[in-house]
Amino acid sequence: MNAFDLSRLRPRLPSPLEPVEDERFARRGLTLLLKREDLIHPDLPGNKWRKLALNLEAAEGRPVLTFGGAYSNHLRAVAAAGRLLGFATVGIVRGDELAGRPLNPSLTRCAADGMRLEFVDRATYRAKNDPATRALLLERAPAGAYVVPEGGSNALAVQGCVELGRELAGAADAVGVAVGTGGTLAGLAAGLGPGQRALGFPVLKGGFLGEEVRALQEAAFGGPRGEWTLDERFHGGGYARVSPALEAFARDFEARHGLAIERLYVAKMLYGLTALAEEGVFPAGTRLAAVITGAPDAPPSDGARPSGASPGGRARPSGASPGDRARPSSASPGDGGQPADSSR
């Protein structure tokens, strides 16, 4: 069987769509549904499967070179795919200062799955799409390597995410999704049917993701597709930043529904969707689907977690009322900045 035959991995598709009872939605006549993309595959969950599937088929078993930060979910997914399907992987990691340090749990997992890690300085990493820089980086990979961009977002990834929207056809009126690089939102919106819309919640600040989504749809489809919007208020200060208000909300959601919530993407999306509901944005009768794009990691060892990040495990109720904080105080739409690492 060829390395790129993904059927051997037995993905759970379509992913489950689960209704949940949440009084913050119910008292406004709204239905909340969780689209459990995190259950597609244990090693390639959520949007990782959607974004990588067509890229891996295009690679046809060749080595794969890709990019990410020290805690990149994308790097881990590519490394796992290489182990499961038998192709070589190389990860270009931002930050040459990391080369002489012990690997954190995320990169340890990548290495254990056979990924060769190449650390580069931040200036080189920022220039990774420059043709001359890209040629130098390709020298670190086996000949004929297939390149997947940071976060996996390219035209093939967007096309792979179209099926997510199609699975929700007729099941929801609006669909919330976290946005890191824009690929999942671009494909989701394209796959939704008439009268449906996608609501993107950026997890990083800077206000540049609208252009990214439009460019990705142009590359994938030749022009805009579907109805989508971005709400920039819920990044919580930037990528890998978890404000106290967001942490309280996530713990409360976990206690209400018995579902561990990943903090850096999923919690921000759920926080934003809940805030919009409480602001009265949705008319009674609206069916809202929240895309659960990933699950939290097991808690890393002390000192290995990125600043502000939470393992997101089951938690006791904090006593905080998410409804009292519709907007995290640290969210400031339009603030300048760049992502530390984004992979959605």
pLDDT tens digits for 67-121? 999 989 899 999 999 999 999 999 999 999 999 899 999 999 999 999 999 999 9
Instruction: Say if residues 95 and 72 touch (Cβ distance below 8 Å).
Output: no
On whether both 18 and 77 belong to a single domain, the answer is no
On whether both 318 and 285 belong to a single domain, the answer is yes
Q: Which of 144, 176, 194 is the last residue of a domain?
A: 144
Residue 207 CA to residue 173 CA, distance in Å, equals: 26
On whether both 158 and 37 belong to a single domain, the answer is yes
Instruction: Say if residues 330 and 310 touch (Cβ distance below 8 Å).
Output: no
Instruction: Say if residues 344 and 293 touch (Cβ distance below 8 Å).
Output: yes
**Is 72 one of the annotated active-site residues of the chain?**
yes
On whether both 115 and 246 belong to a single domain, the answer is no
On whether both 158 and 138 belong to a single domain, the answer is no
Q: For residue 4, what pLDDT is reported?
A: 62
The total number of structural domains in the chain stands at 2
On whether both 67 and 135 belong to a single domain, the answer is yes
Q: Which residues contact 262 (CB under 8 A, 6 or more apart)?
A: 38, 293, 294, 295, 296, 297, 312
On whether both 20 and 131 belong to a single domain, the answer is no
| 329 assigned to some structural domain | no
**CATH number reported for the structural domain that contains residue 277 in this entry:** 3.40.50.1100
Instruction: Say if residues 342 and 181 touch (Cβ distance below 8 Å).
Output: yes
| 133 assigned to some structural domain | yes
Q: Is 61 helix (H, G, I), strand (E, B) or coil?
A: coil
Residue 254's domain comprises 6-44+153-324
On whether both 134 and 197 belong to a single domain, the answer is no
Q: Which of 83, 116, 144 is the last residue of a domain?
A: 144
Q: For residue 298, what pLDDT is reported?
A: 55
| 340 assigned to some structural domain | no
Q: For residue 339, what pLDDT is reported?
A: 35
Q: Please count the other Cβ atoms lying within 10 Å of the Cβ belonging to residue 115.
A: 24
CA distances from 72 to 27, 48, 241, 335 (A): 38, 11, 15, 23
The pTM of this model reads 0.84
On whether both 136 and 199 belong to a single domain, the answer is no
Q: For residue 344, what pLDDT is reported?
A: 56
Backbone CA torsion sign across 110, 92, 153, 159: negative
Residue 273 CA to residue 286 CA, distance in Å, equals: 12
Tell how strand 64-68 and strand 89-94 pair up: parallel
Radius of gyration of the chain (CA): 19
On whether both 176 and 254 belong to a single domain, the answer is yes
| 16 assigned to some structural domain | yes
Q: For residue 6, what pLDDT is reported?
A: 83
Residue 327 CA to residue 341 CA, distance in Å, equals: 23
Q: Which residues contact 283 (CB under 8 A, 6 or more apart)?
A: 29
Residue 18 CA to residue 258 CA, distance in Å, equals: 13
On whether both 258 and 291 belong to a single domain, the answer is yes
| 30 assigned to some structural domain | yes
| 54 assigned to some structural domain | no
Q: For residue 7, what pLDDT is reported?
A: 84
Q: Which two tokens stand for residue 72?
A: 């990149």
Which among 168, 234, 172 has a CA at the least distance from the CA of 201? 234
On whether both 135 and 159 belong to a single domain, the answer is no
| 187 assigned to some structural domain | yes
Residue 80 CA to residue 74 CA, distance in Å, equals: 10
Q: For residue 325, what pLDDT is reported?
A: 34
The side-by-side arrangement of strands in the sheet containing 89-94 is 116-120, 89-94, 64-68, 146-147
Q: Which of 144, 172, 187 is the last residue of a domain?
A: 144
Residues of the chain under the 50 pLDDT cut: 1-2, 299-343
| 53 assigned to some structural domain | no
- CA geometry: angle 233, 48, 189, nearest 5 deg: 55
